[in-house]
């Protein structure tokens, strides 16, 4: 079986200054994988490389039997403009964009699917609420409902549990397990190591370079975490400090 993703000598960065160096590994199809590492390790940068908003400086991302249309992406909440005048139901409906196009209208069946997605994440009754009035947890539930409608084979989540309450996190973890149980591949950037240990069987640890990738219990060792911190601290200054620059 081909992997869902393969990183082949992948280097990503900004202004030709690499943030992820020569990454060489694969994400198994149908796996549930956490991406962990210190701040500045290149975790979010890697997801941007996968969705194509950041072009490789070197190497490539290959998708096996997938393509970028098979990807659903959840950005960090801080990247979302919540002042935009849109309601919960309208934002969730955007998950059907590929089906309806820029000028299409929702059919009765589509509206039923939107209502089902909203209900499944615990937001029934809030359909008309402007997103700017939502709590952090409610906003994240809304974004997960939109992901549900995208029906993607590969789901990328960038810090999905930041600034939400414990009940919301438990509900969203249940959604992630449901996706994985359906055979979808889920790749999530996470900071809470205990959440990773409990819910994510596979882990990729980054520190601008790959530290380790494999079963979570073998990756999340004290030795690996210490090494990751050292590697990021060594590259905390200008690119020449850690000897990294793009050709």
For residues 94 and 143, give the distance between their C-alpha atoms in angstroms, rounded to a whole number: 10
Q: Would 120 be classed as within a structural domain? A: yes
Question: For the chain, how many structural domains are there in total?
Answer: 2
Per residue in 102-125, pLDDT tens?
Answer: 667 888 999 999 999 999 999 999
pLDDT band (50, 70, 90) for residue 243: very low
Q: Are residues 147 and 169 in the same domain?
A: no
With vertex at residue 98, the alpha carbon angle to CA 95 and CA 100, rounded to the nearest 5 degrees, is: 90
Please state the rounded mean pLDDT for residues 88-109.
Answer: 85
Q: Are residues 139 and 158 in the same domain?
A: no
Q: What is the CATH number of the domain that holds 56?
A: 3.40.50.300
Q: Are residues 239 and 136 in the same domain?
A: no
Q: Are residues 135 and 170 in the same domain?
A: no
Identify whether the C-beta of residue 41 lies closer than 8 Å to the C-beta of residue 206. Answer: yes
Question: Which of 100, 145, 104 minimizes the C-alpha distance to 123?
Answer: 145
Please give the pLDDT value at position 125: 96
Q: Would 75 be classed as within a structural domain? A: no
Q: Are residues 2 and 119 in the same domain?
A: no
Please give the pLDDT value at position 16: 78
Q: Which residue has the higher pLDDT, 218 or 239?
A: 218
Please give the pLDDT value at position 236: 64
Q: Are residues 145 and 163 in the same domain?
A: no
Please state the rounded mean pLDDT for residues 202-213.
Answer: 97
Q: Are residues 218 and 190 in the same domain?
A: yes
For residue 230, the enclosing domain spans 1-66+153-247
pLDDT band (50, 70, 90) for residue 246: very low
Q: Would 162 be classed as within a structural domain? A: yes
Q: Is the pLDDT of residue 93 over 50?
A: yes
Please give the pLDDT value at position 81: 82
Q: Would 73 be classed as within a structural domain? A: no
């Amino acid at each position: 079986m081909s992997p869902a993703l393969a990183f082949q000598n992948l280097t990503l960065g900004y202004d030709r200054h690499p943030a992820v160096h020569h990454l060489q590994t694969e994400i198994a199809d149908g796996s549930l994988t956490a991406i962990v590492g210190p701040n500045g390790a290149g975790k979010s940068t890697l997801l941007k490389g996968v969705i194509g908003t950041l072009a490789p400086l070197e190497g490539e991302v290959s998708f096996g039997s997938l393509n970028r249309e098979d990807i659903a992406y959840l950005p960090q909440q801080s990247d979302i403009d919540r002042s935009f005048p849109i309601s919960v139901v309208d934002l969730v409906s955007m998950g059907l964009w590929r089906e309806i196009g820029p000028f299409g209208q929702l059919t009765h069946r589509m509206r039923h699917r939107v209502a089902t997605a909203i209900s499944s994440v615990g937001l029934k009754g809030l359909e008309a609420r402007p997103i700017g009035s939502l709590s952090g947890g409610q906003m994240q539930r809304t974004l997960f409902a939109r992901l549900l409608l995208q029906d993607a084979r590969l789901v990328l989540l960038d810090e999905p549990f930041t600034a939400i309450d414990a009940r919301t996190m438990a509900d969203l973890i249940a959604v992630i397990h449901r996706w994985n149980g359906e055979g979808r591949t889920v790749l999530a950037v996470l900071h809470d190591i205990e959440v990773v240990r409990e819910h994510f069987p596979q882990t990729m640890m980054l520190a601008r370079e790959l530290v380790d990738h494999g079963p979570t219990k073998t990756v999340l060792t004290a030795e690996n975490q210490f090494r990751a911190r050292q590697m990021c601290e060594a590259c905390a200054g200008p690119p020449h400090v850690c000897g990294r620059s793009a050709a």
